[in-house]
Structure 1
Amino acid sequence: MIIYIILILVILQRLTEVFIAKRNEKWMLSQGAYEVGSSHYPYMVSLHAGFFLFLIIEVVTNHKSLSPLFPLLFILFIAVQALRIWCIRSLGSFWNTKILILPDAEVVRKGPYTFMRHPNYAVVCLEIILLPLMFQAYFTAFCFTLLNVTMLSVRIPIEEKALRDATNYNHIFQKKISES
């Protein structure tokens, strides 16, 4: 029963994020933004939808129970969700599920973005591992971790190139590297 409650809450969270992303997309496009990497976006959406589908199938068909480490994994999962919210709030109107580039915009350098370039992707990676492990869905954890790493190996270089070409991204992160 707990898996269904958690999954419903996570799916509701994702739907809320889609609403936020659509609202932010509309604003960014009105400011002159453009999308890059649109060819891989449907695959990313399919990956995330497939993740939830396979997780449910693996748990239900194999009668999986809570992991003995569930309390620890759940606390980590909640911490990851807090980091997700911090990412979204830090980027504000710039947060999106698509790669939208607003030429000459100042790159956001606050919140978790002061510590790493792509904290939201770290959140997704951790979630794809933690959520299945809470319910002993090891096949889903393994397969979708590999699929997600593959997706991010395509997505992150596209995003970084677009940010370098159209914003102060290179300057901000070069400066950040030289400060450390």
Structure 2
Amino acid sequence: MTPAIIILALVTAQRLAELWLARRNTRRLLARGGREHAAGHYPLIVLLHAAWLAGLWFLARDAPVALPLLALFLVLQGLRLWIIATLGERWTTRIIVLPPGKPLVRSGPFRFMAHPNYAVVAAEIAVLPLVFGLGWYALVFSLLNAAVLAIRIRAENAALRSVA
């Protein structure tokens, strides 16, 4: 087993665990009166992330690993966990807005920016391919992700304004 396969297996396991957590949190939020917004673009997000990871499995399984970039990717994972921990049961991969009167999370990384998760995801989509020397792959998926995030952030901001 190559180092690249170990890294990809760990990232895949992490993403699957996060999907489980997101589904659990989504069910809980909806049960508390939350409402999903802009669900139409969600399959596009899933497709983009699945294609990104599947492509890495295909292209990078025997690639050498750039340790400084791997260290950067690990820092990004720490930031990802900070975001998930800060949001707690509110963290999900969908746009779920609670009824009016529930304050937005303003602690943790949300003190510094409105959408820290999207910044981390954008960095991950670029950095992990670079760990394996796939600069062109990082560029292509970064551009695709930027297009999807433009849709997503507009939709999320509109959903949040609808209950403000």
Matched residue, 1:32: 33
In structure 2, the partner of 1:13 is 14
Within 5 Å, which residues of 2 pair with 1:93-172? 93-104=89-100, 105-167=102-164
Q: Which of these two proteins has the greater Rg computed from alpha carbons?
A: 1
Q: Distance in 2 between matches of 1:56 and 1:115?
A: 34
1:78 maps onto 2:74 in alignment: yes
Identity %: 43
Give the Å deviation of 1:19: 1.1
Q: Distance in 2 between matches of 1:57 and 1:10?
A: 14
The runs of 5 or more residues in structure 1 that have no matched partner are 168-180
What's the TM-score once normalised by structure 1's chain length?
Answer: 0.87
- Residue 90 of structure 1 corresponds to 86
The Cα of 1:164 is off from its aligned counterpart by 1.3
Give the Cα separation in 2 of the matches to 1:157 and 1:82.
Answer: 26
In 1, Cα distance between equivalents of 2:139 and 2:14? 23
1:87-129 deviation line (CA, Å, top 9, x unaligned): 0000011110001111212100110001111111111011001
Does the CA contact (< 8 Å) of 2:25 and 2:89 recur in 1? yes
Measure, in 2, the Cα distance between the counterparts of 1:19 and 1:58: 27
Aligned residues: 162
In the TM superposition, what is the alpha-carbon distance from 1:137 to its structure 2 partner? 1.4
1:57 positional shift: 2.1
AA in 2 matched with 1:77: F
Whether the 8 Å CA contact 1:58–1:140 is kept in 2: the answer is: no
Q: Distance in 1 between matches of 2:137 and 2:38?
A: 26
Residue aligned with 1:39, SS: helix
Deviations 1:126-148 (A, max 9, x none): 10011000101122211100000
Report deviation, 1:65: 2.5
Counterpart in the other structure of 2:63: 64
Alpha-carbon distance in 2 for matches of 1:103, 1:161: 14
Runs of 4+ displaced beyond 4 Å? none
